[in-house]
Amino acid sequence: QVQLQESGPGLVKPSETLSLTCAVSGYSISSGYYWAWIRQPPGKGLEWIGNVYHGGSTYYNPSLKSRVTISVDTSKNQFSLKLSSVTAADTAVYYCARRPTTDDYFDYWGRGTLVTVSS
């Protein structure tokens, strides 16, 4: 059974960089698939942040592209999100998910982790 688990600081100061990691179990990242980050601000809907392929190619939401970096570490079977210059608007529950290589949906998700941006 594929499982994804997000981890990282729950509190980040404004203007700093948010860093999260998604540990994958039950499947080897290097075997394929795209790996995604998605977030949900309080009281709002989901927002796709971006995808990374096991080979390292990335695709980002145009509205976040200038601040986002998603990378993969196949040796640790995990992938990461970095979001720079955060503001209160970046406060959200952040989810990691898996996307089949040749399909356009997300078949496995983590439970999410709340990140609050506040001084």
Partner 1 sequence: QSALTQPASVSGSPGQSITVSCTGTSSDVGGYKYVSWYQHHPGKAPKLMIYDVTKRPSGVSNRFSGSKSGNTASLTISGLQAEDEADYYCCSYAGSSTYVFGTGTMVTVL
List 25, 30, 107, 116, residue binding partner 1 (CB under 8 A): 107
Residue closer to partner 1, measured from CB, 16 or 64: 64
Buried b (16+ CB within 10 A) or exposed e, 25-40: eebebeeebbbbbbbe
List 95, 113, 115, 117, residue binding partner 1 (CB under 8 A): 95
Are the C-beta atoms of residues 22 and 36 closer than 8 Å to each other? Answer: no
Does 27 contact partner 1 by CB under 8 A?
A: no
List 41, 69, 77, 109, residue binding partner 1 (CB under 8 A): 109
Nearest CA to 54 out of 20, 70, 31, 25 is that of: 31
Total number of residues that touch partner 1 (CB under 8 A)? 24
